Each structure stands twice: as structure tokens, then as C-alpha cells.
Amino acid sequence: MRRALALVLLLAVLVFPLIFVRPFPRHIMIMIFLYGSLATAWNILAGYCGQISLGHAVYFGIGAYTSTLLVRDAALTPWLGMLFGAALAVVVSQAIGYPVFRLRGHYFAIATIGFGEIVQTIVLNWDWIGGARGLFVPIKRPDSLLNFQFHESKAVYYYIALGLLALALGATRWIERSRRGYYFRAIKEDQDAAASLGVQVAREKQAAMAVSAALTALGGTFWAQYVLFIDPESVFPLSLSILICLVAVMGGVGSLWGPLLGAAVLVPLSEGTRVLLGGTGKALDLVIYGALIMLIAVFQPAGLIGLVRQLARRPTLTAGARAQRESAA
């Protein structure tokens, strides 16, 4: 029964652009996929491994800027630029992680905010890469997959975004079922006890960070190619880090589908308020977000997924237990 439902859903997602040909619905779905994959990436580090990074926009921005600069200065296809972006994001993430992972809890969170701010400030003041003016992605016509630009329709973007999401989900699933996934969860629970059992805590955290950063950077490149303009305010801000985190928390940290669920709820909500309220909508949706975060923190830290599970009156399975059950089946 569940299999059938999943198949129908998958089919619906795949044929969506064929049915809905107007740009707006496609745009919503693309945003859902994008935020879904960003939140899923964040979830790997924060939900599974328990390290709450509030500065993740850094990697998004690195991805966006790297590929765009390579397109501008080296005429390199964004696909390769994407890989370079991911690689750079990984390097930066390791550099940040080295000092920051020694911290715990609140201190760690504050430190990640700080690093995010520092990087944003650096980029804002670095004229060679555009500074506050930002960068325009050189427009290339006609539409081409190689150049990763499509002006006629959003359909291809849709599928690319979907692919990105699938990648993020796949990575999460793979980790969930591997030794690393178990280690992450142990670290999240009690990293000292984990260490007493031989877990190399720092190394595991860095690994989580690396995967998370790489996936986030891929999203950044996608964004750059989608909107064809980037600037520090749009790809590096704290509000983006917050948003990513909110989407994941809303949906349910530590679960595979939670972040996507969060995106599926929040993106339409955000677009809806923007459409309804015009200019001031920007602040109002954040008001709602803030209220939502608080409500979730107080009433249902497990997020929407937790809610769904309670409603379906299934026992809340931990990710590992589910993996265990599934592989035993």
C-alpha cells in the first residue's frame, strides 16, 4: 500500500511540468526542491550528527560564486564550476570545522553564525568578485544544457533541481544505513561515550560537515544559474542560514523526509504571503517563521514528521530502527 502510494507520488512529481506549463507553479516546485535539498544537506550535519550550524549559507554562497566566477573568467561550464564550488566548500568547511568542532552546543552555534558573518563581510568588500554590486552570470543563448541556462522554459531547471534533491536524499539515506550514520547518531547523543567506544569524534564531525557543505554548494551553483544574478545579500546572509535551518526543523531533523516536508510546507507559505501582501510580505513571512520555530521547539521538536507519525498512530521509529527493520525485511 505504501509502495503504491510512493510510486504514484513519484510519477506525479515526474510529470508535473508536463501538466503545469505556467512558470509560476514550476517555480514553486523548483524552490521546494532547492530548499528541500539544502535542508536535507543541513540535516546531515545538524539532524543526524547533532551539530547545529547556523552559518550554512556560507557554502551556498561559495558554490554560487565559484561557478559564476569560473563562467565569467574561464568560460568554464557551470557543471564543472559546480564541482569546483563543492570542492572549495568542502575545504572551507574543514577549515571552519577544525576550531569550531571543539565547541559544544550554544558556543558552537554562535561560532558558526560568526563565521557566516565574516565570510559575508569579506565578499561584500572584495571588489574583484563583485563586492556589494554582485555578479551577473553571463547570459548565453540559445538554451543549452552545457551552459546550464534555459530562458524559454523552466522545465529543465525543474528536473535538475529534482535531481539535486534526489542526490541529497540519496546521500542521506546512504549515510543513514552505514557505519558513519550510526556513529553520527551516537555523537549526537553523547560524544564522550562515543569516544570511549573508539569513535573518532572530530573526524566524523568533519565528514558530516564536508558532505553537508558540498551538497549545499551544489545548490548554490544551481541558484546562480537559475536567477543569473548573485550578490552577498542574496547568497550569504544569516537569514538564509536561518531559513535552511527552519525548513529542516519544521519538517523534522534527524529524519530522511523531514526537511523535504518542511520545504513543501514553507515554500508555498512564503510565496503565498508574498503574493497576498506584496512588499511587506517579506517581513510577515519571517514573523510567521519565527512563531513557527518557537511553536515547534516547544510542542513538537520532532517537527512535522513527528506530528505525522503521531497522527498516523505509528510508533515513532528512529532512523536507525527503520533502517534496521527495512534491511531485515
Partner 1 sequence: MGFVYALVAAGLSLIFGLMELVNFAHGEFLMLAMYVAFFAWSLGRLDPIVGAPVAAVALGGVGWLTYHGLIRRVLAAPMLAQIFATFGLAVFLRSSAQFAFGADFLTIKDPWLAGRVSLGGLFIGLPQIVASLAALGAFLGLHLFLSRSETGLALSATAQDRQAASLMGIDTQRMFALGWVIGGVCVGVAGALLAMFFYIYPDVGGPFALLAYVTVALGGFGNVPGTLAAGVVVGLVEALAGLLIPPAFKYSVVFGLYLVVVLWRPQGLFGRF
Partner 2 sequence: MSVTEPHPASLLEVTGLTKSFGGVVANRDIAFAVRPGELVGVIGPNGAGKSTLFDLITGFTRPDAGQVRLDGHDVTGLRPDRICRLGLGRTFQKLRPFHDMTALENVMIGAFLHTADVAEARAVAIDALAKVGLADRAAAHARGLSTGQRKRLELARALATRPRLLLLDEVTGGVDPGAIPGLVALVRELHGRGLALIVIEHNMRVIMDIAQRVLALQLGEVIADGPPAEIMRDRRVIDAYLGEAWRA
Kindly identify the residues of this chain, within the stretch 157-186, that bind partner 2 according to CB under 8 A.
177-179, 182-183, 185-186
Bin 321: left if φ > 0, else alpha if -120 < ψ < 50, else beta.
alpha
Kindly identify the residues of this chain, within the stretch 272-301, that bind partner 1 according to CB under 8 A.
280, 283-284, 286-287, 289-298, 301
3-class SS of residue 230: strand
Residue 204 CB-half CA count within 13 A: 25
Q: Which residues of 161-185 are buried (b: 16+ CB within 10 A; e: fewer)?
A: bbebbebbbebbbebbbeebbbbbb
Minimum separation from the CB atom of position 309 to partner 1 (A)? 17
3-class SS of residue 151: coil
3-class SS of residue 138: coil
Judged by CB under 8 A, which stretch of 7-15, 109-117, 150-158, 223-231 contacts partner 1? 109-117
Phi then psi for residue 138, to 5 deg, are -55, 125
Q: Interface with partner 2 includes 305 (CB under 8 A)?
A: no
Bin 150: left if φ > 0, else alpha if -120 < ψ < 50, else beta.
beta
Instruction: Compare residues 46 and 194 and give the one whose CB is closer to partner 2.
Output: 194
23 contact choice in partner 1, partner 2, none (CB below 5 to 8 Å, kind-dependent): none
Instruction: Compare residues 52 and 201 and give the one whose CB is closer to partner 2.
Output: 201
Which residues lie near partner 2 (CB under 8 A)? 177-179, 182-183, 185-186, 189-190, 192-201, 318, 320-321, 324, 327
Q: What residue ranges bind partner 1 (CB under 8 A)?
A: 50, 52, 54, 99, 102-103, 105-107, 109-111, 113-115, 117-118, 121-122, 124-125, 238, 242, 246, 249, 253, 280, 283-284, 286-287, 289-298, 301
